[in-house]
Amino acid sequence: MSVFADLHVHTTNSDGEMALSEVPEAARDAGVSVVAITDHDRLHPELPTPVTAFEGVTVVHGIELRVEPRSEDYESDQSSGGSDGPGERVDLLGYGATPTPELVDELDRIQRDRKERGRAIIESVEDHLGVDLDLEAREGLGRPHVARAVVDHAETAYDEIGDVFDDLIADGGPCFVAREVTSFERGVDLLSDACGLVGLAHPYRYDDPEAALELTRHLDAVERYYPYDREVDPRPVERAIAEYDLVPTGGTDAHDEVLGLAGLSRPEYRHFRSSVSL
């Protein structure tokens, strides 16, 4: 399938490698006409409207927000025989973003927490490896930044970012530091007020995809197309789309300059656009 719209792209505003100014060229190189900027826990300050025409490419202002299902988020599910406890953290994708004071306040809180967490991870990795990464904690800093700094450092034996995650900073690793994230219920409320469409990102990346897909009963959309590193059975997500009347989305989850690995066709984008009222 030819990708017309890549609706999951990160920039240097969070942990991507491309500046916003570089996105149109990357889109043209991939034959993509529409890109959604979905930086982690941050709105992009250079996207003042929900959708922008930028050097011949349509750019949708989005966000990827990490949330944590907690007991109170499951009350309605429990009464209907659903999940009986909290689940793992998941990522929500909001599309067509217009900042609200409530969302901005929550993102500011998250970024303060991210900065402190980043500082703690950097110090832990430096102590563990006995090196100085020359990396400063800042808003938008994520674990990929730390991993890249380790790979780029002349005194470490790491050549691959994935190995740094596996050995040091993945969940449960010796240098992992947890962070406080927004509850699922509050995240949905905040994004619903600020965005035209709210969906679940990459359902097959979670340890329990079925539990993650159950959450879509509270959402508008789900990421149907995604470049997983393995074959996945699309039937569960297709059942969720049919059962909960969800809008299918899709994207590369690009952190570098390569776009168009996954996304929507032109007719699918028309459906998405009409649903999000862009």
The pLDDT of residue 132 is above 60: yes
**Chain centroid to CA 37:** 10
pLDDT the model gives residue 20: 98
pTM of the entire predicted model: 0.84
Helix (H) or strand (E) holding 68: strand 57-68
**pLDDT tens, residue by residue, 52-82:** 999 999 999 999 999 999 755 544 444 443 4
Sequence-ordered list of residues with C-beta below 8 angstroms from that of 251, at least 6 positions apart, any chain: 6, 7, 8, 9, 36, 38, 223, 225, 226, 262, 263
Strand partners, 51: 60
23: alpha, beta or left, given left = phi > 0 and alpha = psi -120 to 50? alpha
Alpha-carbon dihedral of residues 170, 175, 106, 65, nearest 10 degrees? Answer: -10
Among 66-75, 121-130, 212-221, the minimum mean pLDDT is found in 66-75
Q: Which of 214, 201, 262, 191 is nearest to 87 (CA)?
A: 214
